[in-house]
Structure 1
Amino acid sequence: MERWSGVLKIPLNASTSNYYRVASSLCLSSSSSQNLAVPSANAIFFHGDRVQDTGNHVIERLYDLQKVAEIIVSKFGNSVNVFVVESSVFNGPFAIYKDFVPSVNQWGAPKSYSPIGFPASSSIVSLLSSCLHEVILKKSKEEINQIASSVHQCPKTFVLGFSKGGVVMNQLMSEISSLDTNFAETTSSAMIEEPQIIPASKESFLNSISEVHYIDVGLNSSGAYITDQNVVQRISQRLARDVNSLRIVIHGTPRQWCDEHRGWILKEKDELVRLLKSEGENSGGKLEVHERFYFSDRLADLQMHFDIIDAMDVS
Structure 2
Amino acid sequence: PGADPQRSNELLLLAAETAGGGPERRALSGERAKEEPQPAPQHHVLYFPGDVQNYHEIMTRHPENYQWENWSLENVATILAHRFPNSYIWVIKCSRMHLHKFSCYDNFVKSNMFGAPEHNTDFGAFKHLYMLLVNAFNLSQNSLLSRKNVKDLNKDSRASNCRSSSSHTTNGCQGEKERTCEKSDESTVSFYPPSLNGASFTLIGFSKGCVVLNQLLFELKEAKKDKNIDAFIKSIRTMYWLDGGHSGGSNTWVTYPEVLKEFAQTDIIVHTHVTPYQVCDPMRSWIGKEHKKFVQILGDFGMQVTSQIHFAKEAPSIENHFRVHEVF
TM-score range, shorter chain: 0.7 to 0.9
The count of corresponding residues between Structure 1 and Structure 2 is 263
Whether the aligned pair in 1 keeps the contact of 2:104 and 2:115 (CA below 8 Å) is yes
Q: Secondary structure at the match of 1:270?
A: helix
Match for residue 218 of structure 1? 245
Do structure 1's residue 288 and structure 2's residue 285 form an aligned pair?
no
Alignment counterpart, residue 95 of structure 1, candidates 93, 103, 110: 103
* Aligned ranges 1:129-168 → 2 under 5 Å: 129-138=134-143, 139=145, 140=150, 153-168=197-212
Deviation at 1:218, TM superposition (A): 0.8
* Aligned ranges 1:1-315 → 2 under 5 Å: 11-12=1-2, 15-16=5-6, 18-28=8-18, 38-51=40-53, 52=59, 53=62, 59-62=68-71, 64-77=72-85, 79-92=86-99, 93-101=101-109, 103-114=110-121, 116=122, 119-138=124-143, 139=145, 140=150, 153-180=197-224, 184=227, 201-221=228-248, 222-236=250-264, 238-239=265-266, 245-280=267-302, 287-312=303-328
Distance 1:57 1:89, change over 3 A: closer
> For residue 46 of structure 1, what is the amino acid of its counterpart?
F
Deviation at 1:267, TM superposition (A): 1.1
- Residue deviations 1:196-223 (CA, integer Å, cap 9, x gap): xxxxx32222121121100011122212
Distance 1:90 1:57, change over 3 A: closer
Deviation at 1:75, TM superposition (A): 1.2
Distance 1:167 1:143, change over 3 A: farther
Whether the aligned pair in 1 keeps the contact of 2:206 and 2:241 (CA below 8 Å) is yes
- Residue deviations 1:180-209 (CA, integer Å, cap 9, x gap): 48x64xxxxxxxxxxxxxxxx322221211
Alpha-carbon distance in structure 2 between the residues aligned to 1:123 and 1:24: 21
> For residue 229 of structure 1, what is the amino acid of its counterpart?
P
Deviation at 1:299, TM superposition (A): 0.8
Alpha-carbon distance in structure 1 between the residues aligned to 2:195 and 2:65: 44
Worse-superposed segment, 123-132 or 138-147? 138-147
Distance 1:207 1:176, change over 3 A: farther
- Residue deviations 1:127-159 (CA, integer Å, cap 9, x gap): 2223222322232499599699x9895222110
Alpha-carbon distance in structure 2 between the residues aligned to 1:159 and 1:268: 20
Match for residue 198 of structure 1? none
Match for residue 162 of structure 2? none
| Percent identity over paired residues | 24
Structure 1 gap segments, 5+ residues each: 1-10, 185-200, 240-244, 281-286
Deviation at 1:37, TM superposition (A): 5.0
- Residue deviations 1:283-313 (CA, integer Å, cap 9, x gap): xxxx21100111112111111111111121x
Alpha-carbon distance in structure 2 between the residues aligned to 1:120 and 1:17: 10
Q: Secondary structure at the match of 2:304?
A: strand
Distance 1:258 1:203, change over 3 A: same
Alpha-carbon distance in structure 2 between the residues aligned to 1:85 and 1:171: 15
Deviation at 1:38, TM superposition (A): 4.9
Structure 2 gap segments, 5+ residues each: 22-28, 30-37, 54-58, 160-191
Deviation at 1:126, TM superposition (A): 2.2
Alpha-carbon distance in structure 1 between the residues aligned to 2:232 and 2:239: 13
> For residue 59 of structure 1, what is the amino acid of its counterpart?
W
Distance 1:136 1:276, change over 3 A: same
Larger radius of gyration: 2
> For residue 91 of structure 1, what is the amino acid of its counterpart?
H
Alpha-carbon distance in structure 1 between the residues aligned to 2:154 and 2:273: 38
- TM-score scaled by structure 2? 0.71
